[in-house]
Copies of this chain bind each other. A is one copy, B any other.
Amino acid sequence: MLSSKNTLLLFKNVRYMSTSKTVGFIGLGNMGAHQAINLIKKGHNLVVFDMSKDNMNKLKEKGAKIANSPSEVAKQADVIVTMLPASAHVKSVYCGENGIFQSVKPGTLLLDSSTIDPATAREVASIAKKHQTTMLDCPVSGGTGGAEAGTLTFMVGGSEQDFNSAKPYLECMGKNIVHCGDVGTGQVAKVCNNLVLGISMIAVSEAMNLGVKQGMDPKKLAGIFNTSSARCWTSELYNPCPGVIETSPASRGYTGGFGSALMTKDLGLAVDSAKSIGEPLLLGNSAHQLYTLLVAKGDGQKDFSVVYDFLNKNFKNSN
C-alpha cells in the first residue's frame, strides 16, 4: 500500500509523463550529470550533450539519448536545461556555431542553471526572445550533494508566467524554487549570496584564528559565536577550524566542499557587477583578492575554508 506521500509523487510523475515533453540537457559535469539523472528519474525523456563522450555515455546508461551538438539537442527538445562553467561557455553553447539558437524550435523553454554574470544572462535571454523562445536564469546553491539528492535551491529570473512554466522541471532537480524577479535577477541573487558567504568565511577564520592564538578553545569560541551576534551559516555548519565540526571540509584536510577557485570565480562576478554599475564593494574586493592569493598559492582545489589554514599557519607549511 502506498503512503499518501508516495501517492502524491506518483501523481506528479504521471502528470509529467502525460505531457510527453522531451528535455534537452547540455553540460554533464559534477553538477549537471546528477541534475539530468534526476530529470530521468522523474519520468522525462532526455536528450543530452557534453564535450566529454564519457560523460554522455554515463547518461546513456541511465536512458538518455545522445546528441552530437547543442544544435542537435535543440532540434528534439521542448525544454532545454544547461549547466556550464562560465559566461563564455553559455554564449558559445547558445549563440555559437552548432549552438542552440541555430535550430531551436519556437516556444522552447530554456533554463540556464550556470552561474554567470547577470549582464550576459540578460543578453542571451534577449537573443532567445528573437527566436520566439523563453530563457530563464536559474543558478543553484546546494553543491554536488544537493544536485545528487535533488534538493538544490534554484534562484530564478524571469516573468511570473515563465517562472510557473519552469517550476515543474526545476522541482525535479531541487526542492527550493525561488522566484527572484526579472531575467538576470536569479544570477544577481546567487552572486549576492556568495558575496556574503565568501566574506563571512574570512570573518570567521580571522576571528577563530585570533581567538585560538590567544588561548581560546576553538569549540568554546564557536559555541559563543553560534549563540550570539556572530552566528552565521559558516560558523554553525561549516566552521573552518579543524575539529570544531566533525563533518566539515576543515576536519578532513579541506578536501571536498566548494573550492577556493570557484569562490574566486563567484566573487569575481560580484566585483565585475559592482564595477559595471559603479558601486563600491570594499570588503568584497578584499575578499576576492584573498581567495586569489589562495589560488595563486596552489590551494584552488581545496575547500574555500582553507583560508583559516592560511592565516593559522602563517603561510609556512600550509601545504
Which A residues contact B (CB, under 8 angstroms)?
118, 141, 153, 155, 176, 178, 180-182, 184-185, 188-189, 191-197, 199-200, 202-204, 206-211, 213-217, 220-221, 223-225, 227-235, 238, 268, 270-271, 273-275, 277-290, 292-293, 295-298, 311, 314-316
Contacts and interface: CB of A to CB of B under 8 A. Distances in A.
Contacts of A289: 280-282, 285
B207 A221 contact: no
**What does DSSP make chain A's interface, helix, strand, loop or mixed?**
helix
Nearest to A189: B224
B203 A195 contact: yes
A192 B184 CA distance: 34
Contacts of A203: 195-196, 199-200, 203, 283-284
A178 B283 contact: no
A122 to B, nearest CB: 10
Given A185-B215, A188-B211, A189-B221, A278 B290 contact: no
Contact of A297 (B193, B238, B314): B314
Contacts of A234: 229, 232
Contacts of A199: 199-200, 202-203, 206, 283
A298 B278 contact: no
A295 B283 contact: no
Contacts of A176: 227
A196 B204 contact: yes
B283 A285 contact: no
A314 B296 contact: yes
Contacts of A311: 279-280
19 contacts: A181-B215, A181-B217, A182-B215, A192-B207, A200-B203, A203-B203, A203-B284, A206-B281, A206-B284, A210-B279, A214-B273, A231-B232, A231-B233, A271-B275, A280-B296, A283-B290, A285-B286, A293-B315, A315-B315
